[in-house]
Amino acid sequence: MNRQHPQGQAKGPFSCTYSPNLPELLMQMNCTIALSTYQAGKVVFVSAQDADKLIQLPRNFNHAMALGLYGNRLAVAAKHEVIVLAHDPGLAAAYPKQPNTYDSLFVPRASYYTGAVDIHGLEWGKAGLWAVNTSFSCLCLLNDQYSFIPRWKPSFISGLASEDRCHLNGVAMNDGEPLYVTTMGHDDSFQSWRKTIPNGGTVINVRTNEIIMENLPMPHSPRLYDGKLYMLFSATGEIVAADPEKRTYDVVNKVDGFVRGLARHADHIFVAHSKLRQNSSTFKDLPIAKKAVTSGVTIFHLPTGARVAELKYETTVDEIFDIQVIPGLKRPGIVSPDQEVHRLSLVIPGTSFWAKPEEEKKIE
């Protein structure tokens, strides 16, 4: 993957351009970017190959949406399930296909078969794995007994129904508990949020069930950083820092794209943005619509709001749903459930193994 393409050269899958400083920045920060794209059906790891080049590792996940990261675990919301992967350095060192290539290797460890609930957010907390259940307008917990366990819904939602009434789309955690959520609207009928686009968004305090901010331009990806509530205004491309007590916000910076997906590493925030479909009846008239012509990631310095680096896709990836930053791993690998090799990965407390293929079959 090159920073630029020679004139006339064909662009391959996942072709992108990026700031010259981005590979070195990721190396210095000792981290890897993880992206999900439901449009392409992939989770993509973006790592520094060296100080000058990036390398990508795309893997198949059907309709990949929300990503949740905690310790060595990565949860991926797919179309009808949530897949939990965990990484192990020992597996990477002896990986049959590419030994001694990755500093750790993510492999599937569990799946929660949720059914079609349209999960827009995943967060680990004290009670377990929380999901933003957009279809049922609630926050829920995932386990191995039920499709989901409802734990909270906005006070204006009269009951559970698969109707996406307010487009509940994000949760900000505090000390392992949900504290704030974002929605696109606050009515109680089937997809009523579509009637108030682009300025019907809200922030709700989960503990008090009070709407503390409203009339927002499609808020997404709420996160608590250093006592401030950061979120993305998708309709305008703005990154904002809000004061929940004063119920005000300041614009940190802006991206020419449909912003959705926010993660922090050290003093930097990583913002994902998408290209808008020009034939979309829902989004074609948004303030950002004409400028949202590429997808990618922009990195900002959190204390100052200054733009530091960016990556832009030229092929394959038009819409990014979520982003995480994997700390402590310069170049992790990932094996998706559709890759047969994952069935040979065995991890127990303190060590790991690769089972031998039956009849010494060649691993494809």
| DSSP class per residue in 282-349 | TTTTSTTTTT---EEEEEEETTT--EEEEEEE-SS-----EEEEEET-SS-EE--TTSGGGGGEEEET
Q: How far apart are the first and last CA of the chain?
A: 24
Q: Which residues of 264-283 are buried (b: 16+ CB within 10 A; e: fewer)?
A: ebeebbbbbbbbbbeeeeeb
- Alpha-carbon separation of residue 112 from 60, 86, 149, 345 (angstroms): 17, 15, 12, 20
3-class state of residue 24 by DSSP? helix
Q: How many CB atoms lie within 10 A of CB 256?
A: 14
Work out whether the CA dihedral 105, 110, 113, 119 comes out positive or negative: negative
Burial of residue 60 (number of CB atoms within 10 Å: 0-12, 13-18, 19+): middle
Closest C-alpha among 349, 334, 286 to residue 103:
334
> In this predicted model, what pLDDT tens digit does every residue of 145-199 receive, in sequence order?
999 999 999 999 999 999 999 999 999 999 999 999 999 999 999 999 999 999 9
CA angle 121, 123, 125 (to 5 degrees): 150
pLDDT-derived band at 294 (thresholds 50, 70, 90) equals: very high
Whether residue 21 contacts residue 31, with contact meaning beta carbons closer than 8 Å, is answered with no
Whether residue 292 contacts residue 237, with contact meaning beta carbons closer than 8 Å, is answered with yes
pLDDT at residue 363, as a whole number: 53
Q: How far apart are CA 130 and CA 16, in angstroms?
A: 33
Mean pLDDT calculated for residue range 70-99: 97
Name the pTM for this structure: 0.94
281 has pLDDT over 80: no
Tell me the domains of the chain and their CATH numbers: 16-360 (2.120.10.30)
pLDDT-derived band at 6 (thresholds 50, 70, 90) equals: very low
User: Of 88-92, 143-147, 273-277, where does mean pLDDT reach its minimum?
Assistant: 273-277
Q: Which amino acid is at 230?
A: Y
In which element (H, E) is residue 89 found?
helix 89-93
Q: What percent of the chain stands above pLDDT 90?
A: 91
What residue ranges in 135-183 does DSSP mark as E strands?
138-142, 149-152, 170-174, 177-183
Closest C-alpha among 169, 218, 158, 159 to residue 194:
218
pLDDT-derived band at 322 (thresholds 50, 70, 90) equals: very high
> In this predicted model, what pLDDT tens digit does every residue of 302-319 receive, in sequence order?
999 999 999 999 999 999
Across all residues in the chain, what is the average pLDDT? Answer: 94
Question: Cα–chain-centroid distance for residue 102?
Answer: 22
14 has pLDDT over 90: yes
Q: How far apart are CA 275 and CA 296, in angstroms?
A: 9
Q: Which amino acid is at 256?
A: D
User: Of 40-44, 69-73, 274-278, where does mean pLDDT reach its minimum?
Assistant: 274-278
238 has pLDDT over 90: yes
pLDDT at residue 7, as a whole number: 47
Whether residue 277 contacts residue 295, with contact meaning beta carbons closer than 8 Å, is answered with no
pLDDT at residue 283, as a whole number: 79
Calculate Rg over the CA atoms of the chain. 20
Residues 6+ apart with CB under 8 A from 287: 198, 217, 235, 236
Joined tokens for residue 141: 């917990």
Q: How far apart are CA 153 and CA 133, in angstroms?
A: 10
Mean pLDDT calculated for residue range 118-131: 98
pLDDT at residue 361, as a whole number: 52
